[in-house]
Amino acid sequence: MIDQVVLITGASSGIGWAAALAFARAGYHVCGFARRAERLSGLEAEIDALPSPHGDFLAAVGDVRRADDAMAAVEQTLARFGRLDILVANAGVGHHGQVADAAWDDLQTVLQTNIDGVMHSLRAAVPAMRAGGGGHILIISSVVAGVHTPYTATYAASKAFVSSLAGSLRLELADDNIAVTDVLVGRTFTEFNQNRLGSRQSARGGLPTKTADDVAAALVSAAERQPRHIVLSLFDRLILAGGVLTPGLMARLAKRQYEPSQGD
C-alpha cells in the first residue's frame, strides 16, 4: 500500500471520477470532493468493490467556488487520513457562446469554478502539505489555454489563467518541497459537454479524443514523476506548438472547429 493521500476536486464524474478510481487502485487514499453527494456515494461503492489491496475513499460534499468548502474538504481529509500529499484541482465547467452576448451568470460561473475554485483548493491544501513536509498539486488545465479559440473564449481564458498560475506556483512552492504540474488535457469523453453552460452547439467532431481513464492513468504516473506539465498526445502537442509557431493558422482552424453551423 502507498501511504499517501490525494484530494480530487470534481470527483463526481468524468476525469475526477476516473482519477479517484485509478489512485485508489494504485493504493492511495482518496478524498473525492464535489457537489453531488449521491454521485460520490456511487464512487465510494465502486472503490470499495475494487480488488484488494486498494486505498480508502472519503466523500467531501461542497462547492469549489466557496473557500470555506475547500477548507472543510482539507480538514475532513486530515481528520480521516492524517495527511494530504496530493491535490488534483480538477473541478471545472465549460461554456460555449460569444462573450459579448452570453449571460453574465454563466460567464461568472465559469470564472468562479475554473479560477476561484482552483485557487481556493490549493490555498486550502498548501498549509496541510507544508505541515507534512511537502506535496504535489496537479492543476487540470486544457490545450485551449495555448490557442485562441472563438466561442469558448471565457473557458479558454480561465484555463490560460490556471496554466500560468501553475508555472508561477511551481517556483513559489519549490522551497516547501511542493511540486506543481500543469495538466494540459485535450478532448476527452466525459459529461463535460452536457454540463457546459451557454449554447448547446458542440465543437465539430472528428478530432482525436481520449478517455477519462487515459487521463487518470497519466495523473497517477505524474504523481510519481512530478513533471512541470503533461500533454497526453502528439495531436495535443501539435495544437500547442501551432499556437506558438503559427497562431494565425491555428486561430482559423479553431474558428472552423467551434463556430456555430447553420441551423444552430
In the complex, minimum distance from the CB of residue 177 to ligand NAP, in angstroms, rounded to a whole number: 26
Pick the closer one to ligand NAP by CB: 127 or 208. 208
DSSP character for 254? H
- Interacting residues with ligand NAP (CB under 6 A): 9-16, 34-36, 39, 63-65, 90-93, 113, 117, 140, 142, 185, 187-188, 190-192, 195
**CA 41 to CA 59: how far, in whole Å?**
7
Q: At closest approach, how far in Å is the CB of 70 from ligand NAP? A: 9
* Whole-number Cα distances in Å, 13 to 16, 35, 155, 190: 6, 11, 19, 7
Q: Which ranges in 173-246 belong to alpha helices (H)?
A: 192-195, 212-225, 234-245
Residue closer to ligand NAP (CB basis): 195 or 246: 195
Annotation says 258 is catalytic:
no
Rounded to a whole number of angstroms, the minimum distance from the CB of residue 257 to ligand NAP is 13
Minimum distance from CB of 133 to ligand NAP (Å)?
28
Distances (CA, A) of 188 to 177, 193, 258: 31, 10, 16
**3-class SS of residue 178:** strand
Distance CA 207, CA 16 (A): 22
Residue type present at position 164: S
**Which residues belong to the active site?**
155
